Amino acid sequence: MNTISNKTFSAKPSNIDKKWILVDAEDQPLGRICSQVAIILRGKNKPEFTPHMDTGDNVVVINAEKVKLTGKKMSDKTYFRHSGYTGSESFTTAEEMLRKDPTSLVSNAVKGMLPKNRLGRKLLTNLRVYAGSVHPHTAQQPEKLEL
């Protein structure tokens, strides 16, 4: 009799092993960094990936202020905001965003690469972005990831 099971594996909360990953964004293209971070947050780099579960790791991104944008994106790329009131739309360039709040540039890019549902919002809480190289997560002993 064949003892091999043909059942599909579905991760349960007790099966999930979360690690801490440290990513240095210095002199790296924004899209390349953020797509890798989104894959890690989602858990797609693990063999026990389950689409409806948070199987990903916690990610700490440092040096967000030193991230690079290729071509003329620094001046041409715009971000749109609207408060909901008539005529209250505002546009911000990537250059202004990097100057005012460099962490929002990285977190917005990662947010756009995650699912647009409650799972995506939950996954975004596992992302920590810091403008400089100092972060308060040394106690978690994050593994440095080379991209």
Whether residue 120 is contained in a domain is answered as yes
Q: What is the mean pLDDT of residues 105-128?
A: 97
Whether residue 27 is contained in a domain is answered as yes
What would the pLDDT profile of 93-110 be if each residue is shown by its tens digit? 999 999 999 999 999 999
What is the model's pLDDT at position 4? 67
- Number of domains observed in the structure of the chain: 1
How does residue 9 score in pLDDT terms, banded at 50, 70 and 90? confident
Note down the domain range covering 110.
20-145
Q: What is the mean pLDDT of residues 123-136?
A: 96
Whether residue 53 is contained in a domain is answered as yes
What is the model's pLDDT at position 3? 62
Whether residue 10 is contained in a domain is answered as no
> What are the two backbone dihedrals, phi and then psi, of residue 54, each rounded to the nearest 5 degrees?
-85, 90
Structure tokens at 117: 């549902």
CATH, residue 85: 3.90.1180.10
Whether residue 12 is contained in a domain is answered as no
Whether residue 67 is contained in a domain is answered as yes
Q: What is the mean pLDDT of residues 36-43?
A: 97
Host H or E run for residue 24: strand 20-24
Whether residue 48 is contained in a domain is answered as yes
State which amino acid sits at residue 131.
Answer: A
Q: What is the mean pLDDT of residues 63-89?
A: 95
Distance in angstroms (rounded) separating the CA atoms of residues 121 and 98 = 23
Long-range pairs for 91-97: beta carbons < 8 A, 24 or more residues apart: 94/69
Q: What is the mean pLDDT of residues 26-35?
A: 96
What is the model's pLDDT at position 73? 95
Cβ of 102: how many Cβ atoms within 10 Å? 20
Strand 20-24 to 143-145 pairing: parallel
> What are the two backbone dihedrals, phi and then psi, of residue 77, each rounded to the nearest 5 degrees?
-70, 125
Whether residue 7 is contained in a domain is answered as no
Res 117 pLDDT > 70 = yes
Host H or E run for residue 96: helix 94-100
